[in-house]
Structure 1
Amino acid sequence: MMRRLAILVLWSARLLATEYHVAPTGDDKNPGTADKPFRTIQRAASLIKLGDTCHIRGGTYRETVQPWKSGQDGRPIRFVAHRGEQVVVSGADPVTGWKRHKGNIWKADMPWNLGRNNQVFFDGQMLTEARWPNDTDGDLFTANGAPISTGGDWGLSCDLLPDTLATDAWQGGVAWVMAGARWTSFTATIASYKAAEKKVLFSIPDPAWVREHMNPRRGGEFYLVGCLAGLDAPGEWYYEKGDSTLYLIPPVDDDPNQHEVLARRRYTAIDLKGRSHVQFSDIHLHAGGVDMDDAHRCLIERMRATYIAHTRGGQTAASLNEKCALYIAGDGNTIRDCEIAFSAGDGIRVGGNDNRVVNCYIHDTGYLGSYGAPLALSGTGHLVSHCTVHDTGRDGILLSGQAHIVQFCEVYNTGRLARDTGLLYTVGNDGGNTVIHHNWFHDNKAAGLGLGIYLDNFTSNYLVHHNVVWACDDPLRLNKPSTYNLIANNTLVGPVANWGRWETDRMFAVRLYNNLVAKGIQKHPDLILSHNAANAALDAASLRTGKDRPGVDAGILIPGIADQFLGRAPDCGAYEKGDDPPWKPGHDFALAHRADYKPPKTPLRNHVRNGSFELNRVTTLPVNEALSPWKPTGAKAAKPIPGRGGIQTHYDERDSIIGQALCLSGPSDDGIEQEITTLDPNTRYVLAGWLKVKDAASVRLGVRGHGGAEAFRAVSSGKWQLVTLDFTTGAANTKATVFITKPGAGTAFADDIGLLPAWKPEPPPRE
């Protein structure tokens, strides 16, 4: 009876759903039927409700689409292109009525202005905003800048600046600067220009590390953009906001009235902020992005989105301080089978929780040379699968947050503007057992320090396995401090290297097993190595096919990672004997890739969750659950606190190792505890963490409920101390409770807590 009622309700909902129709030949006064369609998609979006579908005929729609309602599970709101027809939602409008200004310069009225986000197209080609020196090759990733002669906190000078420029010719424009260490570009609004001294005056933007390490006093290159003084070359434009006029030198010697000239008018093409269960299928974008901030269970599929985000900058550095990407937050959203191309910042930026990016082709992003990346992840629990990423100014995939999976991706041609970059990069981050597996990373083009998988300083809790990395300076870099990272079964053409700032830099529980390494592994007293084939002879063919490679049957069984094999033992490297054909990464729009979020259940992971006390910073938690899944004990005054400084500050100078730490400051006994439920019986484990006190007598890290006597280690020092505690679970025990306590009054701190098996790999069996 209940089943029949449910079916009846479902069919009733379907019968009540409305199908709207939109066509370029329609009229918004029409009823929106197939024979009398609306003219704009937004007209349908303003009416659409649970379970409704909007069918869109081919054409270009110059508007922002924002559904006024959300769908619900089983009754999504759908926007779909008519079968076989191309639908484009554009953020750009035509600019018409061109008149010759003087010489080869034309002008037209343009009664809108996006400021630093203005963007102009000529017959589909993106044009260059007026600049000096000129862009001579049209390549987004060659700056074509001028050398800095002198520089400092005040700005820069250049001997090559034209003698004919008037004083303040560039006032109000923007300087793009790639200087010093060149980790990132920065942009600065020009305060004034001193023609006699050829000085461009501006303030270097925050943060402090940019002002220090990217300072023009250390040399570099720059260009100036956004003033009429720079309008002197075919394919350039300038917008004068005073009289709302667009000036243009066409890229061809012809009347622009005979061509399509478009200028960006809307920043966003699809706005799904705060919406749930809304789907867009086969709808393409031009000169506009997607904003899915606080969206839930929404779907974007089979979209080609070009020129999604553009800015000339102005007081920006590592961050562009805007949603310069296809932006996803909220939870449970999916982007799949899409092409994302041409962005000054990120391609797809993913925040929130449990979002998916599957079978996407992402290229030509990050052309401002900041920390924008084709794929940039924060938040928790995202899946990136079967994506192809190439050509970007800095990193290919930029990771922060926790518990992500990056799998079956191909990433190449990165680092085309900045230096000290990674094909995949993270820094100062607890990955929360983020998994990076079965990817190809190759061809980092950075002019200095172009690396492969780059786990920079203060990186912890990453599982990196079955990746192939080549054509870069170091295929794997483990900068110190480095903690609880597992590197297994990777094929690495080049050395495994590490670097740190202080003599006390350390590694702890950093394990390298079953790797094929072409040029050896840099030694470190804390590095745990076993069954790696170092100095392996690797040829180009074996990198993509896995054939004729060394390391066959030379590895060790690693539960959950290297436990499916033929022969007497797992192979070293990313391919296993019997893989025929071998796995292949990257997108393929002809295939419907299935991608599930399945972290490996390897016992070698860190079994403590939120051991760095960062979770409330990377995702939204209720105030009273800021330490989740830890539970407060005693005075219940425990809280996460930030430590000052970043990766260039020694951890003994702050109250966290990096980022946040646990602070216990109750007037009496104060602490937290976490039940671990993923242990194996009769197994030896190591509990570890960093402790220090301010004015408390001591602070303790311990374990109980594991089938043995309660045990702990205590610290009374005002400097960070690593403590370790070995224990063995009982014959039937799969649980234990980890606790941190501060007896009595005073304040104490803890950070980077971990629990791992005391695992010693055994050699492969003999013949």
Structure 2
Amino acid sequence: MLRTNPSPRRKIMAGTTLGLAAALAAAGAAAAAPADAPRTLYVAATAGEGGDGAAPASAFRTIQECADVAVAGDTCEIASGTYRETVTVTSSGTADRPITFRAAPGADVVVNGTERLTGFTPVLPKDLAAITAADPYAVDSLFSAAVAQRKIYSVPVDLGDKGGEEQVFLDSTMSIEASYPYPGTDLLDPDIRRAQAGSADATIVDPQMTRPAGYWDGARALTAYWYITTTGAVASSDVGSITLQTAPLCVHKVVPTDTWYRLSGKIGELGYPGAHYYDPVAKRLYLYSDDNPNRHFIEAKKRQLAFDLTSASGIHLEGLGLFASSVQTGTSSTGVVLDGVDAKYLSHYWDVTRGATNCGENVTRGVGDTGIVLNGTGNTVKNSTIQYSAGNGIALRGWGNTAIDNVITDVDYAGTYAAPVAVQGHSQTVMYNTMARVGRSGVNLQWNGVAGTVPGPDRIAHNDISGYASLSVDTAAIYTCCSSRMEGTQIDHNVLHDPNARPGGVYPFGMSGIYADNGQSDLRIHNNVGWGNPEGTVELNGLGSGSRDNLVYNNTGGMTLFYVKGPGQSTGSVVTNNIGPIKGLTGATDGGLTLSNNLMDGDPLFVDPANHDYRLQAGSPARGVATPLPPYTDGSTDAVPSLGAFQYGAPAWTAGARR
């Protein structure tokens, strides 16, 4: 079972606003004629058949029935209950007459992507003969011991044609697939095993692998090294070692004490309470349970989407719960608003695939197509709580979309380039969100062109991000890569702190608050504060096309410079008015970087640094000595502004969800 202990707009450019207005006008062209009065239609999971939705007493039984008849201006008011359906909306609302799906006042509404499983029967010692005929290694295993203790139950069910992708829940908490090592119930802080020896030809050696020769043949192997997580199949195995069918791609390889791994796909590992094993050939689910699982609520995921909005615009979802399912809009969707959504378990997968020859993060599974996916333009997720996802919490695609005032935790437990907020497209806004406990980065910021639009800057501001790098390194709370001009994208007023780097291994590096990696240019990084970040609040890496035209102003927490000293490698980049040590300082200006007026050593005299109050005391040497750089240095009560993220005498700015 997966548990957690979570930590606690910019205006779109004029072209975006005009584009949104035009799109909404097109979506609501039919509204030019006199409109019918808006209706409230009613939905109740307990309703009888044949209701017309006109009143609570004649409510629709499903949300889909309401979606089928709702038109611009209508509201589907939904009573408490669990709705096991994918609601496909094909009608559109307009800017002033949206189609709204909302929870009734005080109602607890959950659109659920699972189906309940019943009819579990105990697996008895006499049943082992048939099981071990298919897998002789199930003899004398954790599984056979659990069968002897009457702890294993099974049920016939079709959960797909390959194991490891199924998602099973026990009393609304995710079950963990049988594996070695058993990761425990918290996939953002799993128990892991590291290779003790091995080679780049895909052999992992670990004396703790005590299963007999051949046991792991055909198993799945999840392996992670440096910044790459991937899966493969085991070709052969012996006591203390496995060899994969194919050597891992890219820089990923087997490095003693640094590569960590998890093996699954063998029923013999089913020996922990709440764990499961799915046999995709026999279409049977096995469950370890201390008592009869028929006394509990067991569910398996059957649907990916709670709401399919790929053909709709002007749709509002308000106060709804999502469980084991998500929401997706289409490339022409606009004016879609998710407000006050409570979403859990948005995506699940373990097979982490990449392009055959391309190691880039955008080809990693789940980066662009998991979580709440906003395609199109002018769509928003706000005031929502998002928890648990193998992939993203929110994916902003298209252009001119917004994520604001959300709390997002426990996502990217597959350890890839997915994130609480994955930003693609352009002109996106990510503001006032709280993000914690994530596999890699808090915001994965990319730049992608969108056909027919003029690219514009993103705004990543006033976010509180912590507990990043739980499963990967060479990353950041806000990570952006590679070799793109970012059109003046602003990253400002963020609080970035306390990565959750795993102990051990030789690559606990590259972890910073903001990391412009491998040649990102034309960024505005200002007024951010960070602590606990090994490489500081800001990190610039010019490897590739160079770190050019980046403005790094008034940040607190130090920084690191990589590959900025080659000829022309940092032309136009300026680092000034920052507080904190700067690594990589020697020769840093040789590539064109301007480096001036930074307080790199000595005591800045913060108000209360032990409690992370980085405002300046009256006697601070950072007060009244900054190079004036409006608007980045506005707000000081002194005639000359201050260094660092907080101007002396100005009200302290805040970050994180405002609720």
Distance (whole Å) between structure 2 residues aligned to residue 297 and residue 143 of structure 1: 43
Question: Which amino acid is 1:49 matched to?
Answer: V
Shift of 1:518: 4.3
Please state whether the residue corresponding to 2:613 is helix, strand or coil.
helix
| Contact kept in structure 2, 1:30 and 1:36, CA below 8 Å | yes
Map of 2:262 onto structure 1: 223
| Contact kept in structure 2, 1:170 and 1:229, CA below 8 Å | no
| Contact kept in structure 2, 1:299 and 1:333, CA below 8 Å | yes
Map of 2:90 onto structure 1: 68
Map of 1:681 onto structure 2: none
Map of 2:410 onto structure 1: 364
Determine if the alignment matches structure 1 residue 583 to structure 2 residue 653. yes
Shift of 1:195: 4.1
Shift of 1:535: 1.2
Distance (whole Å) between structure 2 residues aligned to residue 170 and residue 41 of structure 1: 47
Please state whether the residue corresponding to 1:45 is helix, strand or coil.
helix
Aligned CA distance change for structure 1 residues 196 and 351 (closer, same or farther; 3 Å): same
Question: Which amino acid is 1:277 matched to?
Answer: G
2:555 to 482, 487, 490: 490
| Contact kept in structure 1, 2:339 and 2:384, CA below 8 Å | yes
2:460 to 382, 394, 406: 406
| Contact kept in structure 2, 1:133 and 1:146, CA below 8 Å | no
Map of 2:245 onto structure 1: 202
1:591-619 per-residue CA deviation (whole Å, 9 max, x = no partner) reads xxxxxxxxxxxxxxxxxxxxxxxxxxxxx
5 Å-filtered alignment, 1:339-738, equals 339-401=385-447, 403-428=457-482, 429-447=484-502, 448-449=508-509, 450-475=511-536, 476-480=538-542, 481-492=546-557, 494=558, 496-500=559-563, 504=567, 506-518=569-581, 522-523=585-586, 524-525=588-589, 526-538=592-604, 539=606, 541-542=608-609, 543-544=612-613, 546-548=615-617, 549-580=620-651, 582-589=652-659
| Contact kept in structure 2, 1:107 and 1:246, CA below 8 Å | yes
5 Å-filtered alignment, 1:235-274, equals 235-250=274-289, 253-274=290-311
Higher relative contact order (CA 8 A, sep 6+): 2
Map of 1:185 onto structure 2: 229
Distance (whole Å) between structure 2 residues aligned to residue 151 and residue 46 of structure 1: 58
TM-score scaled by structure 2?
A: 0.81
Question: Which amino acid is 1:141 matched to?
Answer: D
Distance (whole Å) between structure 1 residues aligned to residue 235 and residue 250 of structure 2: 22
> Which stretch shows the higher mean deviation, 458-467 or 311-320?
311-320
Shift of 1:255: 1.1
Query: What residue ranges of structure 2 are gaps of 5+ in the alignment?
Result: 1-30, 125-146, 448-455, 503-507
Aligned CA distance change for structure 1 residues 326 and 49 (closer, same or farther; 3 Å): same
1:109 to 151, 156, 165: 156
Aligned CA distance change for structure 1 residues 247 and 505 (closer, same or farther; 3 Å): farther
Shift of 1:381: 0.5
2:79 to 57, 62, 66: 57
Aligned residues: 565
Shift of 1:186: 1.0
Map of 1:293 onto structure 2: 330
Determine if the alignment matches structure 1 residue 335 to structure 2 residue 381. yes
Please state whether the residue corresponding to 2:69 is helix, strand or coil.
coil
Distance (whole Å) between structure 1 residues aligned to residue 227 and residue 494 of structure 2: 25
Determine if the alignment matches structure 1 residue 32 to structure 2 residue 53. yes
Map of 1:19 onto structure 2: 40
Q: Percent identity?
A: 27
Please state whether the residue corresponding to 2:608 is helix, strand or coil.
helix
Distance (whole Å) between structure 2 residues aligned to residue 477 and residue 163 of structure 1: 44
Shift of 1:144: 1.9
RMSD across aligned positions (CA): 2.4
Map of 1:160 onto structure 2: 208
Map of 2:176 onto structure 1: 128
1:282-303 per-residue CA deviation (whole Å, 9 max, x = no partner) reads 0011111111232221000001
Shift of 1:320: 4.1
Determine if the alignment matches structure 1 residue 141 to structure 2 residue 189. yes
Distance (whole Å) between structure 1 residues aligned to residue 628 and residue 255 of structure 2: 53
| Contact kept in structure 2, 1:519 and 1:536, CA below 8 Å | no
1:343-385 per-residue CA deviation (whole Å, 9 max, x = no partner) reads 1122111111100111011111111111111111111111111
| Contact kept in structure 2, 1:443 and 1:470, CA below 8 Å | yes
Distance (whole Å) between structure 2 residues aligned to residue 472 and residue 422 of structure 1: 9
| Contact kept in structure 1, 2:188 and 2:471, CA below 8 Å | no
Shift of 1:338: 0.5
Aligned CA distance change for structure 1 residues 293 and 68 (closer, same or farther; 3 Å): closer
Distance (whole Å) between structure 1 residues aligned to residue 393 and residue 539 of structure 2: 25
Shift of 1:545: 5.2
Please state whether the residue corresponding to 1:349 is helix, strand or coil.
strand
Question: Which amino acid is 1:325 matched to?
Answer: G
Map of 1:283 onto structure 2: 320
Distance (whole Å) between structure 2 residues aligned to residue 78 and residue 571 of structure 1: 48
Please state whether the residue corresponding to 1:554 is helix, strand or coil.
coil
Distance (whole Å) between structure 1 residues aligned to residue 48 and residue 568 of structure 2: 68
Query: What residue ranges of structure 1 are gaps of 5+ in the alignment?
Result: 1-8, 206-210, 590-767
Distance (whole Å) between structure 1 residues aligned to residue 566 and residue 443 of structure 2: 30
Aligned CA distance change for structure 1 residues 557 and 198 (closer, same or farther; 3 Å): closer
Aligned CA distance change for structure 1 residues 212 and 505 (closer, same or farther; 3 Å): farther
| Contact kept in structure 1, 2:71 and 2:93, CA below 8 Å | yes
Question: Which amino acid is 1:420 matched to?
Answer: D
| Contact kept in structure 2, 1:371 and 1:395, CA below 8 Å | yes
Map of 2:68 onto structure 1: 46
Distance (whole Å) between structure 1 residues aligned to residue 191 and residue 412 of structure 2: 12
Distance (whole Å) between structure 2 residues aligned to residue 147 and residue 325 of structure 1: 32
Shift of 1:192: 3.3
Distance (whole Å) between structure 1 residues aligned to residue 491 and residue 353 of structure 2: 34
Distance (whole Å) between structure 2 residues aligned to residue 112 and residue 344 of structure 1: 18
Shift of 1:168: 6.1
Distance (whole Å) between structure 1 residues aligned to residue 648 and residue 85 of structure 2: 54
Distance (whole Å) between structure 2 residues aligned to residue 305 and residue 412 of structure 1: 20
Shift of 1:46: 2.1
Question: Which amino acid is 1:243 matched to?
Answer: A
| Contact kept in structure 2, 1:148 and 1:221, CA below 8 Å | no
Question: Which amino acid is 1:21 matched to?
Answer: Y
2:365 to 311, 316, 321: 321
Shift of 1:527: 2.1
Map of 1:310 onto structure 2: 348
Shift of 1:511: 0.5
Structure number, greater radius of gyration: 1
Question: Which amino acid is 2:556 matched to?
Answer: T
Shift of 1:311: 0.6
> Which stretch shows the higher mean deviation, 326-335 or 64-73?
64-73
Distance (whole Å) between structure 1 residues aligned to residue 602 and residue 446 of structure 2: 32
| Contact kept in structure 1, 2:415 and 2:440, CA below 8 Å | yes
